[in-house]
Structure 1
Amino acid sequence: MLEMIDVNVYYGAIHALKGISIKVNEGEIVTLIGANGAGKTTSLKTISGVLKPKTGVVKFQGNEINKVNASNIVSLGISHVPEGRRVFSSMSVMENLEMGAYSRKDKAEIKKDYEMVFETFPRLLERKNQMAGTLSGGEQQMLAIGRALMSRPKLLLLDEPSMGLAPLVVKQIFSIIKDINEKGTTVLLVEQNAAMALNIANRAYVIQNGRVEMEGPANELLNDEKVRSAYLGG
């Protein structure tokens, strides 16, 4: 479904991605793990068109998308839940979900997707008229994911969904991610909580200093001594 092929990305003079190559097959959960500043978030921003590679190719369903505008990439079927959630704090929960469906015209199907989001996140239904900025961190994360689902993505990019959340809420969010995947949405996940990510993923890439250092089935990396020592506390 998705390929990054020898992608190089710069922030000014800083070489952030140094020949990254990854792939995501339809139906998978793939996770990128690594230390802060390794290039994980930059990879997601490059896929969603927020950043443009200097060299290399990003392909989605066989078509090059590295020169496509970010707004048009959403219409192709890629939704990005950014680090820090980034909900529209002065808008209601319902208005945030409406923003997720901005590129769609199929009103009857949009209505079905509101129902799907509220079924997935019952808390959002209870708070649908509440300002997003007054929600708890966990509720805002649910809203950010729900907003992304309103575009009906084929591929969902998730950047640090557990950040700043209580352990019980993290467990709930990861259960929902797995459920979303089982219902047919492919997921590319960036996550500091490497153990949680590797437990739900099919495959994983370890990113260090802008390069892929290791890759393989998630359960194998979960039991790899180097990975355990570096990212799983031994």
Structure 2
Amino acid sequence: MLELKDLHVYYGGIHALKGIDIKVNEGEIVTLVGANGSGKTTTLRTISGLETLKSGNILFKGKDLKKVTASEIVKMGISHVPEGRRVFADMSVYENLEIGAFTRKDKSEIEKDIQNIYSLFPILYERKNQSASTLSGGEQQMLAIGRALLSRPELLLLDEPSMGLAPLIVKDIFDIIVDINKKGTTILLVEQNANMALQCANRAYIIKNGKIELEGKASELLNHDEVKNAYLGG
């Protein structure tokens, strides 16, 4: 479904991504694990058209995204849940969800999808008329995921969904990620919580200083000595 070939991205004089190769097959959860500053977020932002590619190719269902705008990428079926949630704080939960469907015109179907999001996240239904600023961190993460799902993506990019959340909430979020995948959405997950990410993913890539260091089945990398020592506390 998604293939990154020899991706090179620069921030000014900084070479942020140094020849990244990643493949995501339809129906998978693939995770990209690495420390802060390793290039995880840059990879997702480049896929969704928010960063400029210096060289290389991003193929989504065989089409190169190099010259496609960010809004067109959403229309093609890729939705991005950014690091830090980025909900619209002064708008209601319902209004935030509506914005997720900005590429769509099918109003009755949008309303059905919003009701489906309320089924997935009942707390959002309870809070639907509250401003997003009143939600807890976990509730804001649920809202950010729900908003992304309103574009009916085939591929969901998730950037650090567990960041700043209590362990119990983290488990809930990962359970929801698995559920979303089972319902047919392919997922590329960027995550510092390597243990949770590797437990829920099919395959994984370990990124370090803008390069892929290791790749393989998530279950195998979970037991890999190098991964254990670097990301799983030995």
- Shorter-chain TM-score above 0.5: yes
- Is the aligned partner of 1:63 residue 2:63? yes
Unpaired runs of 5+ in structure 2?
none
Aligned partner of 1:167 in structure 2 is 167
SS of residue matched to 2:156: strand
Aligned partner of 1:117 in structure 2 is 117
Cα deviation code 1:44-103 (max 9, x no counterpart): 000000012100000100000121111111000000000000000010000000000011
Cα deviation code 1:84-129 (max 9, x no counterpart): 0000001000000000001101122212111110000000000000
Q: What amino acid is aligned across from residue 195 of structure 2 in structure 1? A: A
Cα deviation code 1:151-198 (max 9, x no counterpart): 000000000000000111000000000000000000000011000000
Moved over 6 A (4+): none
Aligned partner of 1:210 in structure 2 is 210
Aligned partner of 1:219 in structure 2 is 219
Unpaired runs of 5+ in structure 1?
none
What is the 5 A alignment of 1:27-38? 27-38=27-38
SS of residue matched to 1:9: strand
Contact 1:58 1:66 in 2 (8 A): yes
Aligned partner of 2:81 in structure 1 is 81
Contact 1:52 1:67 in 2 (8 A): no
SS of residue matched to 1:45: helix
Q: Percent identity?
A: 71
CA distance in 2, matches of 1:107, 1:25: 31
CA distance in 2, matches of 1:131, 1:106: 25
SS of residue matched to 1:213: strand
Aligned partner of 1:151 in structure 2 is 151
CA distance in 1, matches of 2:70, 2:127: 30
How does the TM-score come out when normalised to structure 1? 0.99
Cα deviation code 1:191-211 (max 9, x no counterpart): 110000000000000000100
How does the TM-score come out when normalised to structure 2? 0.99
CA distance in 1, matches of 2:67, 2:215: 27
SS of residue matched to 2:53: coil
Measured on the aligned residues, the alpha-carbon RMSD in Å equals 0.5
CA distance in 2, matches of 1:56, 1:75: 22
CA distance in 2, matches of 1:180, 1:139: 17
